C-alpha cells in the first residue's frame, strides 16, 4: 500500500499533472480580473459584460485565485510530492557519492603497480569513494551528484513559502483623497486575506497629505508620488513619501503606490424642498487629455443612479490642469432625468436637484501588504540556481579499478561533457607510462 502511494506521488504523470494545474491556475488569474488588483469600476464593468460567468467566478473564487482553498490544496499536494522526491534524490546522491557502483563506460586492461595507479588517479583530484572485493571507485567533483538534490530542495522551499503566503497573506487597498484620514479597522477599498489570516487592521491611522501626478507628452503616466502620514494614538506623526517603484516599510507592512489615481469631486445636491445631499465622486484619471473617464454612483437615500465623467482639462489641453470639466447624468431606471456640464464653482439644475461643483482634489490608491514567506521564495530560487550550477558546470567523473590477476581492469566516465574532461583520463595513463588504447 505504501509503495503504491509512494509511486503515485513520484510518478512523472502526477508531477506533470500538478505542474499543469498550477500553470492553469496562473492562466485563470490572468484571464479573470482579480478583485484585489482591479479597480472596482473596472470589475463592475466586467461583471456587466459577463453576467453568465459571475456565479461561477464567485462560487469557485476565480476572482481571487491565489487565496482560494483549492489553490492552497494544489500547492500542498505538489509540496508533498516534492518532499518525497527530494528524499529519494538524497538517497540516490548518497549512493552515487559513497557507493561501490561500477563506473561504466569502456574498460580495458593494463599492467601497472597498484600504488602507482592509485597515486596517479588521486593526483588528478579524485578521491576514493569506495573499496570492496570488486575493486576501487574514485570520484572527482562528487558535489555534482548533489545538484539535483539542491534543485529539489530549492523548489520545496519555494513552494512551501508560496503555500505559507497563500495561507497567511494580508493585502488591502485604500483609495484616499488628499487630506483624508483612515483609522485602524476602517473598511478597505479592496482586501484579500489568506485562508488562515485574520482580519487585516492597520497599526495606526493613515492620512494622505498630497498626490503629485506627472505625465509624458504622450499623456502617459510618468510618475505618481504620494505623501502619507502615520498617526499613532498619542498623536505623533511619521511622514513618508511613496511613489511607483518606491516602496516603504512601516511596522512590518510593505506599502506600495498603486497605479490607480484620479480626481475626487465634491458635489452638493439640493432638492426642491431644500434638502441637501453631498457626495464625493472619485473617478480614475483619464487616459488622454481629450478623453473622458467614467464612474457610476448611487445617490444615498434616492432611487437615482448618477453617471459621471470628466475631462482632466475643460479645454482638453493638459493632463495636469486645475480646471477639470465634470459631466453629470441623472438616471432613473434607465431613463435620463437630466445632464449638465460643470466647472469648479458652477451650479446647474439636473432632474429634481440643483447640483453644485464645490471643489476637486486628487486621490490615489495605496496598497498595504503583510506577507510572511517572501525571503523563503528568494532563498529557494538561489538554491535552485546553485543546484543547476552544480549539475551543469561541475559534472562528476569517476574511475573504477579492478584487479584481475597480474593486471588491472580500469574504466572511466564523466556524467556530462565527457570529451571535455577526458584529458584527466589521459593524464592518469601518461603518469603510469601507458597510452590511450585504440
Average pLDDT over the chain reads 89
The cell for 408 is: 588491472
Task: Taking residues 318-327, report their average pLDDT.
Answer: 93
pLDDT digits (tens, 9 = 90+) for 330-371: 999 889 999 999 999 999 999 999 999 999 999 999 999 999
pLDDT mean over 156-172: 93
pLDDT at residue 257 greater than cutoff 70: yes
What the block records as the C-alpha cell of 373 is: 514567506
Q: How far apart are CA 292 and CA 262, in angstroms?
A: 12
Mean pLDDT of 248-264: 94
Q: Tens digit of pLDDT for each residue in 191-228?
A: 889 888 888 999 999 999 999 999 999 999 999 999 99
Task: Give pLDDT, residue 348.
Answer: 96
Whether 102 has a pLDDT exceeding 70, the answer reads no
Which one-letter DSSP state was computed for residue 354? Answer: E
99-141+395-438 fold: Double Stranded RNA Binding Domain (3.30.160)
235: which 3 cell numbers? 498623536
Contact 146, 94 (CB under 8 A): no
Q: pLDDT digits over 415-438, tens only?
A: 888 888 888 888 887 877 765 554
pLDDT at 44 over 80: no
Return contacts of 59-65, CB within 8 angstroms, 24+ apart. 62/28, 62/32, 63/32, 63/33, 63/34, 63/35, 64/34, 64/35, 64/36, 64/192, 65/25, 65/28, 65/29, 65/32, 65/34
pTM for the model: 0.77
Q: Average of pLDDT values for 86-103?
A: 81
The stretch 371-383 carries a mean pLDDT of 93
Domain ranges in the chain are 99-141+395-438, 167-260+366-381, 262-363
Note the pLDDT tens digit of each residue in 5-15.
Answer: 778 877 888 88
C-alpha span between 307 and 328 (Å, rounded): 6
N- to C-terminal Cα separation, the chain = 52
Which DSSP category does 323 fall into? -
Identify whether the C-beta of residue 35 lies closer than 8 Å to the C-beta of residue 64. yes
Which phi and psi (to 5°) does residue 232 adopt? -80, 170
Least confident residue range of 59-63, 176-180, 220-224? 59-63
- pLDDT of residue 310 exceeding 60, the answer is yes
Cell output for 295:
464612474
> Which grid cell sits at 306?
448618477
pLDDT above 80 (res 302): yes
Give residue 123's pLDDT.
87
Amino acid at each position: 500500500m505504501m509503495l503504491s502511494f509512494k509511486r503515485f506521488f513520484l510518478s512523472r504523470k502526477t508531477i506533470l499533472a500538478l505542474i499543469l494545474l498550477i500553470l492553469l491556475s496562473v492562466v485563470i488569474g490572468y484571464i479573470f480580473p482579480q478583485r484585489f488588483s482591479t479597480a472596482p469600476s473596472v470589475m463592475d464593468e466586467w461583471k456587466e459584460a459577463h453576467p453568465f460567468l459571475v456565479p461561477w467566478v464567485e462560487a469557485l473564487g476565480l476572482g481571487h485565485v491565489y487565496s482560494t482553498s483549492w489553490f492552497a490544496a494544489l500547492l500542498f499536494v505538489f509540496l508533498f510530492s516534492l518532499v518525497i522526491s527530494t528524499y529519494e534524490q538524497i538517497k540516490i546522491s548518497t549512493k552515487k557519492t559513497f557507493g561501490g557502483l561500477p563506473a561504466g563506460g569502456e574498460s580495458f586492461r593494463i599492467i601497472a603497480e597498484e600504488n602507482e595507479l592509485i597515486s596517479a588517479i588521486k593526483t588528478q583530484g579524485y578521491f576514493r569513494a569506495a573499496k570492496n572485493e570488486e575493486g576501487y571507485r574514485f570520484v572527482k567533483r562528487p558535489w555534482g551528484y548533489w545538484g539535483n538534490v539542491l534543485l529539489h530542495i530549492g523548489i520545496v522551499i519555494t513552494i512551501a513559502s508560496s503555500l505559507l503566503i497563500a495561507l497567511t497573506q494580508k493585502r488591502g487597498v485604500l483609495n484616499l483623497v488628499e487630506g483624508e484620514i483612515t483609522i485602524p479597522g476602517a473598511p478597505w477599498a479592496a482586501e484579500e486575506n489568506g485562508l488562515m489570516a485574520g482580519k487585516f487592521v492597520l497599526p495606526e491611522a493613515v492620512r494622505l497629505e498630497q498626490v503629485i501626478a506627472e505625465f509624458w507628452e504622450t499623456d502617459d503616466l510618468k510618475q505618481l508620488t504620494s505623501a502619507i502620514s502615520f498617526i499613532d494614538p498619542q498623536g505623533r506623526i511619521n511622514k513618508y513619501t511613496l511613489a511607483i517603484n518606491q516602496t516603504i516599510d512601516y511596522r512590518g507592512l510593505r506599502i506600495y503606490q498603486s497605479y490607480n489615481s484620479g480626481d475626487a469631486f465634491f458635489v452638493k445636491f439640493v432638492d426642491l424642498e431644500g434638502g441637501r445631499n453631498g457626495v464625493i465622486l472619485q473617478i480614475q484619471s483619464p487616459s488622454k487629455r481629450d478623453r473622458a473617464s467614467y464612474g457610476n454612483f448611487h445617490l444615498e437615500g434616492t432611487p437615482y443612479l448618477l453617471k459621471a465623467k470628466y475631462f482632466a482639462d475643460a479645454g482638453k489641453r493638459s493632463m495636469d490642469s486645475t480646471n477639470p470639466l465634470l459631466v453629470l447624468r441623472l438616471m432613473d431606471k434607465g431613463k435620463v432625468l437630466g445632464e449638465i456640464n460643470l466647472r469648479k464653482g458652477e451650479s446647474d439644475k439636473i432632474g429634481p436637484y440643483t447640483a453644485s461643483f464645490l471643489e476637486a482634489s486628487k486621490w490615489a490608491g495605496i496598497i498595504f501588504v503583510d506577507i510572511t514567506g517572501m525571503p523563503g521564495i528568494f532563498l529557494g530560487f538561489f538554491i535552485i540556481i546553485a543546484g543547476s550550477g552544480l549539475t551543469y558546470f561541475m559534472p562528476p567523473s569517476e574511475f573504477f579499478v579492478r584487479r584481475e590477476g597480474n593486471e588491472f581492469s580500469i574504466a572511466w566516465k564523466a556524467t556530462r561533457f565527457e570529451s571535455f574532461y577526458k584529458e584527466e583520463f589521459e593524464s592518469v595513463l601518461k603518469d603510469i607510462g601507458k597510452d590511450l588504447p585504440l
